[in-house]
């Protein structure tokens, strides 16, 4: 892994085909929504430059190949893509990895070109002076879905839980969502990736490289009854005393705060004394009578007992909701969650009810 320091302020974003500035981060944009994904990969033979596949309509795959970097550095550098894209005036870039949604204002959609986006990303990554850079932008639908499936596999391989919380001293915090949720913080551990899917390894590498400014180290401190002293201290400090206790592996008591980009939400079903897990694409009502969007509105940026935002990667954690009896308490999942968990744990799915197949 490269040890050099990457100062985000020194990244070259000067381009004249669109307006790019830090002040546009968090800008409210409505207009055309594009389904998108992001991937940075280390490759041996990289052809320097920009490659465009298809015409900009409703999908966009962003693949950046860089020579001379390992997988950990590649995953850390991925945080730069939203950082850069969100500086474009009239464009909003939400969620991560295969769940990215890009919103482009109608005014910008009229004039923006893939060539222009490609040049911006190429210039930014090239200014890191790490190695050769190849930016591939995929707008062709067939190719998009093929490459998205490949990106998904690469990201899943990067999610391996190699260390436990007990083996390390530091967790990481992320305050990226503070642009819209003041006082919000996510705590990321090797056994609890963030609700948007950022792993501890990615946060650690990004922090070490200084790639973005929203990740920071959290000294975990002593563990007492499922709570870490260092985590409580940090969350209390950042939330201005609004949240003083966090149990990282509980949805019922002192759950972690839920950021803007949760892939999944765990909710408690009181009459059955168990949990349901709903994914963002499920549009029907859950057993508690609320949709994903309705639950998200209630809990985003807050600590609400009985609810917690999580990522798909957390479903594989040995500490999954361990303070609430873990999988033994899960009674209902959506079809997408079911097809994810049946691949790695056949034993847990026996007693789980599945939501309607067609959620539209």
Least spacing, CB of residue 223 vs ligand SF4, in Å? 22
Least spacing, CB of residue 176 vs ligand SF4, in Å? 4
120 or 177: whose CB is closer to ligand SF4?
177
Q: Is residue 296 within 8 Å of 240, Cβ to Cβ?
A: no
Least spacing, CB of residue 184 vs ligand SF4, in Å? 6
Of 121, 117, 102, 119, nearest to 59 by C-alpha is 102
139 or 278: whose CB is closer to ligand SF4?
278
How many chain residues bind ligand SF4 (CB under 6 A)? 13
Least spacing, CB of residue 122 vs ligand SF4, in Å? 25
36 or 177: whose CB is closer to ligand SF4?
177
SS3 assignment, position 268: strand
Least spacing, CB of residue 129 vs ligand SF4, in Å? 27
- x-or-dash string of contact with ligand SF4, 252-271, rule CB under 6 A: -------xxx----------
Of 204, 197, 24, 40, nearest to 108 by C-alpha is 24
Query: Considering only residues 167-206, where is the footprint of ligand SF4 by CB under 6 A?
Result: 174-177, 184, 186, 194-196, 198
Rounded Cα distance between 36 and 320, Å, is: 28
DSSP assignment of 104-128, as one string? EEHHHHHH--HHHHHHHHHHHHHTT
122 or 312: whose CB is closer to ligand SF4?
312
Chain position whose Cβ is nearest to ligand SF4: 259
- x-or-dash string of contact with ligand SF4, 76-115, rule CB under 6 A: ----------------------------------------
Least spacing, CB of residue 106 vs ligand SF4, in Å? 27
75 or 176: whose CB is closer to ligand SF4?
176
Q: Give the residue ranges of DSSP H helices in the chain.
A: 71-77, 80-85, 106-111, 114-126, 141-158, 200-209, 229-238, 292-299, 335-341
**Is residue 264 within a helix (H) or strand (E), and if so which, with residue range?**
strand 264-269
Q: Is residue 228 within 8 Å of 221, Cβ to Cβ?
A: yes
Those residues with Cβ within 8 angstroms of residue 89's Cβ, 6 or more apart along the chain or in another chain: 18, 19, 20, 21, 24, 27, 108
Chain residues binding ligand SF4 by CB under 6 A are 174-177, 184, 186, 194-196, 198, 259-261
């Amino acid at each position: 892994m490269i040890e050099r320091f990457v100062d985000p302020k020194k990244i070259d974003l000067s381009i004249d085909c669109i307006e790019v500035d830090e002040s546009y981060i968090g800008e409210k944009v409505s207009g055309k929504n594009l389904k998108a994904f992001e991937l940075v990969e280390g490759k041996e033979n990289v052809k320097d430059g920009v490659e465009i596949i298809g015409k900009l309509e409703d999908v966009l795959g962003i693949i950046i190949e860089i020579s001379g970097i390992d997988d950990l550095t590649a995953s850390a550098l991925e945080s730069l893509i939203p950082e850069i894209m969100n500086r474009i005036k009239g464009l909003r870039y939400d969620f991560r990895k295969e769940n990215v949604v890009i919103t482009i204002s109608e005014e910008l959609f009229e004039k923006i070109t893939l060539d222009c986006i490609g040049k911006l990303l190429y210039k930014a990554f090239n200014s890191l002076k790490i190695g050769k850079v190849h930016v591939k932008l995929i707008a062709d639908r067939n190719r998009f879905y093929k490459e998205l499936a490949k990106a998904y596999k690469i990201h899943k391989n990067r999610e391996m839980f190699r260390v436990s919380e007990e083996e390390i001293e530091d967790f990481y915090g992320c305050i990226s969502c503070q642009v819209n949720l003041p006082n919000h913080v996510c705590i990321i551990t090797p056994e609890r990736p963030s609700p948007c899917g950022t792993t501890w390894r990615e946060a650690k590498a990004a922090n070490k490289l200084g790639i973005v400014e929203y990740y920071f180290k959290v000294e975990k401190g002593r563990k007492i009854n499922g709570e870490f002293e260092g985590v409580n201290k940090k969350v209390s400090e950042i939330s201005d005393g609004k949240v003083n206790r966090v149990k990282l592996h509980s949805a019922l008591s002192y759950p972690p705060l839920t950021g803007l980009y949760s892939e999944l939400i765990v909710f408690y079903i009181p009459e059955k004394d168990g949990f349901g897990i709903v994914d963002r694409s499920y549009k029907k009502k859950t057993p508690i009578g609320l949709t994903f969007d309705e639950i998200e509105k209630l809990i985003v940026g807050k600590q609400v007992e009985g609810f917690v935002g999580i990522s798909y990667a957390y479903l594989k954690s040995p500490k999954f909701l361990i303070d609430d009896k873990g999988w033994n308490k899960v009674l209902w999942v959506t079809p997408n969650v079911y097809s994810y968990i049946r691949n790695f744990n056949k034993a847990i799915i026996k007693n789980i009810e599945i939501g309607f197949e067609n959620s539209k």
